[in-house]
Amino acid sequence: MGRIIETRDPQGKTNGWLMPLWNVEERPDLQPAQVYLTVVAPGCSKGPHLHKIREQRYHCIKGAVIIVTRDEKTGEYSTAYLWQGDRLIVKAGTPSQLINNSDAESWIINMPTPAWTPGNRDEWPVDDWELP
């Protein structure tokens, strides 16, 4: 889980905060070649979809989001609740859906590996998705 670090001015007064999103020390084998913000509108969802070769590294920076995944071997669904500061990795080959059940936007940073390119979109539909 990401942590929020309080920041201070030279006089020691709190002036905000920072949230580390990625540090190469966490996974030196995977350095993000792409970082983007995706926003899920209130009461909406994105997906389900599948990336066969791309790992998704989600980091919630505002609001809350539910991420539902399905194990392709067992067919079992898993639900993760991410609030501001939480992180989740969705491995390649795992269908997933982002859901915002709140009345405010959910802001999610994604650092996929490998990066999206026009020649390698790697986004596949999931037709047999049934939310638990």
Write the pLDDT tens digit of every residue in 82-105.
999 899 999 999 999 999 999 999
Domain membership of residue 58 as a residue range: 30-125
Residue 50 lies in a domain: yes
For the chain, how many structural domains are there in total? 1
13-62 per-position pLDDT tens digit: 888 777 777 666 777 777 777 889 999 999 999 989 999 999 999 999 99
| Cβ neighbourhood burial of 99 (10 Å; 0-12, 13-18, 19+) | buried
Residue 20 lies in a domain: no
Cβ contacts of 37 within 8 Å, gap of 6 or more? 61, 107, 108, 109, 110
Residue 43 lies in a domain: yes
Nearest-CA neighbor of 129 among 81, 79, 68? 68
CATH number of residue 50's parent domain: 2.60.120.10
Residue 19 lies in a domain: no
Nearest-CA neighbor of 83 among 97, 56, 101? 101
Q: Are 39 and 46 in contact (CB under 8 A)?
A: no
Cβ contacts of 3 within 8 Å, gap of 6 or more? 19, 20, 85
- The pLDDT, as a whole number, for residue 132 is 64
**What are the percentages of helix, strand and coil residues in the chain, rounded to 5?**
0, 45, 55
Residue 105 lies in a domain: yes
pTM of this prediction? 0.81
Look at residue 40 and give its three-state secondary structure: strand
What is the chain's mean pLDDT, rounded? 88
Cβ contacts of 38 within 8 Å, gap of 6 or more? 46, 98, 107, 108, 110
Percent above pLDDT 90 for the chain: 58
